[in-house]
Amino acid sequence: MISFPGSPRLLKGGIVLIDPNNSQVQRIIVMQYNPDTLSRTLQVQGVGGESGDRQEALRLKGPPVETIKLDAEIDATDQLEFPKQNSSTAELGIFPQLAALETIIYPSSGQLQNNNSQAIMGTLEIAPMETFLSLFVWSQNRILPVRLTEFSITEEAFDTSLNPIRAKVSLGMQVLNINDLGFNHKGGNLFMVYQRQKEQFVRRNRPGIFSSLGITGIP
């Protein structure tokens, strides 16, 4: 199908995995279809509780803890109409797309094997395995370092070999801020870019006036 020349190019969301030490891109995962909705929750990081020190009532410990939830759909129907051009899909369905997402939360088999070898050799303390830094990309204005906290897959259709050909993936992510990563970490730097963009957007917002609130000023 030839699209209308004047139609805008549809941008897609996705996840980029980078090496936290040298920032080299390891994998780019593009969503096949953008989710219809994206929910965000911001948990305020205030000081003290309801009965806290009055001097602390307006103080913040740091940026809010932001979480993001979305449902992404993966469907191989279009590719299966042309099996010769999409041999991988014809053979495996959407297993490769699912694996690209699932392995984000797996340590590599090499890391597992290495830890097992150290255990056999009698190493008393084995450090937890470090994974790649995940960046959730939702336009150029939102490139967020995240940790996947929820992950569920509902496989909805299968081919004759029982390969999944349609699925819904539900993702929950926590945005990693400078309290999690520090200022010198690549992810911490990206978070600060994200926060500064928010502050720039505030300056673009049309300010309100007292009359809209039914008052003439603050008594």
Of the ranges 26-30, 127-131, 179-183, which one carries the lowest mean pLDDT score?
Answer: 127-131
The β-bridge partners of 147 are 174
Query: Residue 121: inside a domain, yes or no?
Result: no
Q: Mean pLDDT, to the nearest integer, of 10-28?
A: 93
Per-residue confidence at 69, pLDDT binned at 50, 70, 90? Answer: very high
Query: Residue 125: inside a domain, yes or no?
Result: no
Q: For the segment 131-154, what is each residue's pLDDT rounded down to a tens digit? A: 999 999 999 999 999 999 999 999
Query: Residue 196: inside a domain, yes or no?
Result: yes
Rounded percentage of the chain residues whose pLDDT exceeds 70: 91
Structure tokens at 165: 């050909």
Query: Residue 149: inside a domain, yes or no?
Result: yes
For the chain, the residue count is 219
Query: Residue 4: inside a domain, yes or no?
Result: no
Tell me the CA distances in angstroms from 118 to 108, 122, 128, 129, 131, one per residue in order: 16, 6, 12, 13, 19
pLDDT exceeds cutoff 60 at 3: no
pLDDT exceeds cutoff 50 at 1: no
pLDDT exceeds cutoff 80 at 44: yes
Query: Residue 117: inside a domain, yes or no?
Result: no
Query: Residue 158: inside a domain, yes or no?
Result: yes
Residue 100, domain extent: 14-45+60-106+130-201
pLDDT of residue 80: 75
Instruction: Work out how many domains the chain is built from and give that number.
Output: 1
Of the ranges 2-6, 91-95, 175-179, 188-192, which one carries the lowest mean pLDDT score?
Answer: 2-6
Q: Mean pLDDT, to the nearest integer, of 189-196?
A: 96
CA 68 to CA 39: how far, in whole Å? 6
Q: Mean pLDDT, to the nearest integer, of 104-127?
A: 85
CA 18 to CA 27: how far, in whole Å? 7
Which pTM value belongs to this model? 0.87
Rounded percentage of the chain residues whose pLDDT exceeds 90: 68
HSE-CB for 113 with a 13 A CA cutoff? 3
pLDDT exceeds cutoff 80 at 7: no
Which residues neighbour 208 within 8 Å (Cβ) at sequence distance 6 or greater? none
Q: What is the mean pLDDT of the chain?
A: 89
| 215 vs 130, residue with greater confidence | 215
Per-residue confidence at 90, pLDDT binned at 50, 70, 90? Answer: confident
Contact assessment for residue 68 and residue 173, using Cβ atoms and an 8 Å cutoff? yes
Per-residue confidence at 42, pLDDT binned at 50, 70, 90? Answer: very high
pLDDT exceeds cutoff 90 at 19: yes
Query: Residue 50: inside a domain, yes or no?
Result: no
pLDDT of residue 52: 59
